[in-house]
Amino acid sequence: LFCVPVTALMLWATWADTTESAVVGTRAVLRCPNASVSSLISVVWKIRSKTGSHCLLAYRADTNKTDKTNCSEKMTWESSPYHDPALQIHPVRLADEGNYTCEIATGDGTFCLVSALTVLVPPAVTLTHDNNGVVVCQASAGKPAAEISWAQENGHSTENKTHHTNGTVTTLSSMSMINSTNAHVTCLVTHPAMNQTQTIELSPSEYHLSVTGLCYLVTPCTSLLYQFRQVPVQMVRAKKLCCYFDVPLFPDMHLFVCCCCSCCSDFIPDFKIQR
């Protein structure tokens, strides 16, 4: 009753009649070949995973009994095997990847169908930044690797992929925002396990560089107010003849001015990037 060619048994990982995919943690249903069940004799599911494990799930119509050998509890008949011998796997795990062969014996002959199951893993997506003005979009442990793009057309990004032993891949894309004048930075992530493109965004206040400014006092002041485009940014108390402050790094740093609490001066601070 064997209906799978010998070459297929030897090359199980590359040969199959159909390919099916399922997202990890969800339910997968694999079908048997189209055959009349009115004269059903038996149904046998032969499962061989990529990890090398084997499993048999069988049904005999004359005794109306099922048998399971070396199969986990999550592998069951979707319904009554006499009416529909489809195999159900719930929940799907990475270890379930492999070839699933359904053999049906009827009064009309023996029929088989080999399905290759691929398990998809959605990545965990994050968007972070460092103190050097570099924004990092990361799609962790996805299967297959996620695709990352940026909404900024004038930006230059670099990408790295890390392959893990369980078959998942972490994709990391970095973009420098030091000379960018965009109001926001947007990362776009696409993956077969996600229904739509995932979009995450950082505002300038979230990805700014940490900058230390130094303002020298030429008039007696008890406190200083730092302004950008005539908008107050930070007020600190003056100490001796100079004052330090920490503000976001904007593209037009020359528009910053130091202000006394009652009057503004035209002196430009000596900005230094804090490493």
pLDDT at residue 274 tops 70: no
The residue ranking higher by pLDDT, 136 or 256, is 136
Range picked from 101-110, 195-204, 238-247 for highest mean pLDDT:
101-110
Domains plus CATH for the chain? 6-120 (2.60.40.10), 124-207 (2.60.40.10), 210-273 (no CATH)
Q: What is the pLDDT of residues 122-172, one digit of tens each?
A: 999 999 988 777 899 999 999 999 999 999 866 789 999 999 999 999 999
The tokens for 98 are 């492999």
pLDDT of 3 reads 56
pLDDT of 15 reads 55
3-state secondary structure the chain: CCCCCHHHHHCCCCCCCEEEEEECCCCEEECCCCCCCCCEEEEEEEEEECCCCEEEEEEECCCCEEEEECCCCCEEECCCCCCCCCEEECCCCHHHCEEEEEEEEECCEEEEEEEEEEEEECCEEEEEECCCCEEEEEEEEEECCCEEEECCCCCCEEEEEEECCCCCEEEEEEEECCCCCCCCEEEEEECCCCCCCEEEEECHHHHCCEEEEEEECCCCCCEEEEEECCEEEEEEECECCEEEEEEECCCCHHHEEEEECCCECCCCCCCEECC
Percentage with pLDDT > 90 across the chain:
56
pLDDT at residue 195 tops 80: yes
Asked if omega into 91 is within 30° of 0 (cis), the reply is: yes
pLDDT of 243 reads 45
Determine which of 33-42, 71-80, 106-115, 141-150 has the lowest per-residue pLDDT on average. Answer: 33-42
Mean predicted confidence (pLDDT) in 242-257: 44
Determine the Cα angle at 144 with ends 140 and 149, to 5°. Answer: 65
Q: For 161, how many CA atoms within 13 A lie in the half-sphere containing its CB? A: 12
pLDDT of 5 reads 40
pLDDT of 98 reads 96
Q: Quickly state the pLDDT bin for 176 (edges 50, 70, 90).
A: confident
The tokens for 209 are 């560089």
pTM reported for the whole predicted model = 0.71
Q: What is the pLDDT of residues 1-23, one digit of tens each?
A: 445 443 333 333 345 799 999 99
pLDDT of 14 reads 41
pLDDT at residue 230 tops 50: no
Order of strands across the sheet with 198-202? 147-150, 185-190, 198-202
pLDDT at residue 275 tops 60: no
The residue ranking higher by pLDDT, 82 or 45, is 45
